[in-house]
Amino acid sequence: MRYSPFLFIGGITAVPASAASISVTIPRVTVAEYHKPYVAVWLEPTAGGAARTLTVWYEVKKGGNEPGTKWLSDLRAWWRKGGKSLKMPADGVSGATRAPGTYVIPLPADVKPGAYILNIEAARETGGRELVSLPLTLSAKTSGKTELGAISVSAR
C-alpha cells in the first residue's frame, strides 16, 4: 500500500490575493522509518511566465557532506521550474520540514490578480513523492458605486 506524503485541503477560486491562503495537511503516516517530507509550494501564471516559489520546507540545519539542500532536487517539478536557481536559505520562503499537522501559507500581498496554477509537491525519504496542481484565479478587490462599499471574498 502506498501512502501519500501529504494531502492538500482548501481550494481557492476567484478570491482577492490579499485574503487568500493555502492550507496544507501533512498526515500522520504509520511506517517503520518516518522522515518529515520536503515540501515546495509555488505559483505559475497560466499565460506563461516565471514560477514564483511561495515556500520550501527542507532540513535547514543538516550540514556536513550532505546538507539538506542536497536533497531539494528530489522535489523534481519545483526544481525544474526554478528551484535550482533559488539560493537557500531564502528569506521569507524557506523553512524547516514540518511534522504531521495542518499549516496555513498566506499568499503574498504583491501577487497580481490573474489566473495561476498552484503547485504543491512533497518528497519523503524512504517514502513517496507527490505533486498536486490546482487552477487558481485571483481577483482584484472591488467596490460598489453608490449602494455598496468595498467587496472582497476570503478563502477559508
CB 156 within 8 A of CB 140: no
Give the distance, in angstroms, between the CA of residue 110 and the centroid of all CA atoms in the same chain: 16
**Tens-place pLDDT, residues 3-40:** 333 333 344 444 445 557 888 999 888 888 888 999 99
Mean pLDDT in each 10-residue stretch from start to end of the chain (156 residues)? 36 49 87 90 93 92 74 93 86 86 88 89 88 85 64 46
What residue ranges define each of the domains in the chain, with the CATH number in brackets?
7-151 (2.60.40.1220)
pLDDT at 144: 66
In three-state secondary structure terms, 71 is helix
pLDDT at 10: 40
Look up the pTM and report it. 0.77
Residue 116 and residue 86: Cα distance in Å, rounded? Answer: 20
